Amino acid sequence: MTAKLDAAIEDVGARDHSRCLDEWIAMTGTASGSRLSLRFLRKALIFELQCKELGGHSSAIRRQFRVRAASAAVPAQALSPGTQLVREWNGRVYRVKVAVDGFEMDGQSYSSLSAVAKRITGAEWSGPRFFGLKKSKP
Protein backbone atom coordinates (compact mmCIF):
# COMPACT_ATOMS: atom_id res chain seq x y z
CA MET A 1 0.00 0.00 0.00
CA THR A 2 1.05 3.55 -0.56
CA ALA A 3 1.68 6.13 2.16
CA LYS A 4 -1.22 8.14 0.72
CA LEU A 5 -3.59 5.19 1.12
CA ASP A 6 -2.31 4.44 4.63
CA ALA A 7 -2.99 8.04 5.65
CA ALA A 8 -6.47 7.98 4.11
CA ILE A 9 -7.33 4.75 5.96
CA GLU A 10 -6.11 6.21 9.22
CA ASP A 11 -8.24 9.30 8.59
CA VAL A 12 -11.37 7.18 8.03
CA GLY A 13 -10.67 5.36 11.29
CA ALA A 14 -10.81 8.66 13.18
CA ARG A 15 -14.12 9.86 11.68
CA ASP A 16 -17.37 9.97 13.64
CA HIS A 17 -20.65 8.40 12.52
CA SER A 18 -22.02 11.62 11.06
CA ARG A 19 -19.02 12.23 8.82
CA CYS A 20 -18.89 8.59 7.70
CA LEU A 21 -22.62 8.74 6.92
CA ASP A 22 -22.12 11.87 4.82
CA GLU A 23 -19.46 10.06 2.81
CA TRP A 24 -21.68 6.95 2.52
CA ILE A 25 -24.42 9.16 1.02
CA ALA A 26 -21.93 10.73 -1.39
CA MET A 27 -20.61 7.28 -2.34
CA THR A 28 -23.96 5.48 -2.77
CA GLY A 29 -26.38 8.32 -3.47
CA THR A 30 -28.72 7.11 -0.73
CA ALA A 31 -29.23 7.85 2.95
CA SER A 32 -30.11 4.21 3.67
CA GLY A 33 -26.88 3.88 5.67
CA SER A 34 -28.22 5.89 8.61
CA ARG A 35 -28.87 2.69 10.56
CA LEU A 36 -25.50 1.18 9.80
CA SER A 37 -22.96 0.97 12.58
CA LEU A 38 -19.92 3.21 12.63
CA ARG A 39 -17.72 0.13 12.34
CA PHE A 40 -19.47 -1.02 9.16
CA LEU A 41 -19.46 2.45 7.60
CA ARG A 42 -15.73 2.78 8.22
CA LYS A 43 -15.06 -0.64 6.67
CA ALA A 44 -17.14 0.20 3.60
CA LEU A 45 -15.38 3.53 3.12
CA ILE A 46 -11.96 1.94 3.55
CA PHE A 47 -12.88 -0.75 1.02
CA GLU A 48 -13.84 1.93 -1.49
CA LEU A 49 -10.57 3.77 -0.89
CA GLN A 50 -8.63 0.57 -1.51
CA CYS A 51 -10.56 -0.16 -4.71
CA LYS A 52 -9.86 3.32 -6.04
CA GLU A 53 -6.17 3.14 -5.19
CA LEU A 54 -5.40 -0.51 -5.92
CA GLY A 55 -8.15 -1.49 -8.34
CA GLY A 56 -11.43 -3.25 -7.66
CA HIS A 57 -12.94 -6.54 -8.76
CA SER A 58 -13.02 -7.54 -12.40
CA SER A 59 -16.22 -7.01 -14.39
CA ALA A 60 -16.85 -10.78 -14.39
CA ILE A 61 -16.69 -10.92 -10.60
CA ARG A 62 -18.94 -7.84 -10.27
CA ARG A 63 -21.46 -9.52 -12.59
CA GLN A 64 -21.42 -12.67 -10.41
CA PHE A 65 -21.98 -10.53 -7.31
CA ARG A 66 -25.01 -8.87 -8.92
CA VAL A 67 -26.53 -12.21 -9.96
CA ARG A 68 -26.02 -13.73 -6.52
CA ALA A 69 -27.27 -10.64 -4.70
CA ALA A 70 -30.45 -10.62 -6.77
CA SER A 71 -31.22 -14.24 -5.87
CA ALA A 72 -30.09 -14.20 -2.24
CA ALA A 73 -32.62 -14.44 0.53
CA VAL A 74 -32.14 -11.66 3.06
CA PRO A 75 -33.09 -12.39 6.67
CA ALA A 76 -35.97 -10.27 7.94
CA GLN A 77 -33.93 -9.10 10.88
CA ALA A 78 -30.57 -10.05 12.31
CA LEU A 79 -30.61 -10.79 16.02
CA SER A 80 -27.61 -10.08 18.22
CA PRO A 81 -26.72 -12.33 21.15
CA GLY A 82 -28.31 -10.97 24.30
CA THR A 83 -31.44 -9.74 22.54
CA GLN A 84 -34.61 -10.78 24.33
CA LEU A 85 -37.78 -11.68 22.44
CA VAL A 86 -41.09 -11.54 24.28
CA ARG A 87 -44.30 -13.21 23.10
CA GLU A 88 -47.62 -13.67 24.84
CA TRP A 89 -49.40 -16.91 23.99
CA ASN A 90 -52.61 -18.20 25.56
CA GLY A 91 -52.30 -15.90 28.56
CA ARG A 92 -48.64 -16.65 29.31
CA VAL A 93 -45.67 -14.41 28.54
CA TYR A 94 -42.66 -16.20 27.07
CA ARG A 95 -39.18 -14.66 27.11
CA VAL A 96 -36.56 -15.99 24.71
CA LYS A 97 -32.94 -14.89 24.86
CA VAL A 98 -30.82 -14.90 21.71
CA ALA A 99 -27.60 -16.83 22.38
CA VAL A 100 -24.46 -17.10 20.29
CA ASP A 101 -25.39 -20.60 19.13
CA GLY A 102 -29.19 -20.49 19.25
CA PHE A 103 -31.91 -19.47 21.67
CA GLU A 104 -32.68 -19.99 25.36
CA MET A 105 -36.05 -20.21 27.07
CA ASP A 106 -36.90 -21.44 30.56
CA GLY A 107 -33.36 -22.76 31.04
CA GLN A 108 -33.41 -24.85 27.86
CA SER A 109 -31.45 -24.29 24.65
CA TYR A 110 -32.97 -24.41 21.18
CA SER A 111 -31.24 -24.38 17.82
CA SER A 112 -33.88 -22.25 16.08
CA LEU A 113 -36.75 -19.89 16.74
CA SER A 114 -39.05 -22.35 15.00
CA ALA A 115 -38.13 -24.97 17.62
CA VAL A 116 -39.02 -22.47 20.35
CA ALA A 117 -42.34 -21.65 18.66
CA LYS A 118 -43.15 -25.37 18.39
CA ARG A 119 -42.34 -25.85 22.09
CA ILE A 120 -44.70 -22.98 22.99
CA THR A 121 -47.59 -23.83 20.67
CA GLY A 122 -47.21 -27.54 20.04
CA ALA A 123 -47.56 -26.86 16.31
CA GLU A 124 -45.23 -26.19 13.39
CA TRP A 125 -44.63 -22.44 13.13
CA SER A 126 -42.18 -20.18 11.40
CA GLY A 127 -40.25 -18.92 14.41
CA PRO A 128 -39.50 -15.48 12.95
CA ARG A 129 -43.17 -15.09 12.01
CA PHE A 130 -44.38 -16.28 15.43
CA PHE A 131 -42.19 -13.70 17.17
CA GLY A 132 -43.19 -10.92 14.78
CA LEU A 133 -39.83 -10.65 13.03
CA LYS A 134 -41.24 -11.54 9.62
CA LYS A 135 -44.59 -10.55 8.21
CA SER A 136 -46.79 -13.12 6.53
CA LYS A 137 -47.17 -12.94 2.76
CA PRO A 138 -50.37 -11.27 1.55
What is the reported pLDDT for 61? 81
Residue 134 neighbours by CB distance under 10 Å: 15
What is the reported pLDDT for 32? 67
> How many domains does the chain divide into?
2
What is the reported pLDDT for 116? 95
132 sits in the region (left: phi over 0; alpha: psi -120 to 50; else beta) called left
Tell me if 89 is assigned to some domain.
yes
Domain range enclosing 112: 84-130
What is the reported pLDDT for 95? 92
What is the reported pLDDT for 73? 47
Q: Are residues 60 and 23 in the same domain?
A: yes
Query: Which of 113, 107, 104 shows the shortest CA–CA distance to 131?
Result: 113
Q: What is the Cα–Cα distance from 42 to 23, expressed in whole angstroms?
A: 10
Q: Are residues 60 and 114 in the same domain?
A: no
Q: Are residues 56 and 13 in the same domain?
A: yes
Q: Are residues 52 and 12 in the same domain?
A: yes
Tell me if 76 is assigned to some domain.
no
The list of the chain residues with pLDDT below 70 reads 1, 32-34, 69-77, 135-138
Q: Are residues 23 and 57 in the same domain?
A: yes
What is the reported pLDDT for 101? 87
Tell me if 97 is assigned to some domain.
yes
Q: Largest Cα–Cα distance of the chain, in whole Å?
A: 64
What is the reported pLDDT for 125? 87
* pTM of this structure: 0.44
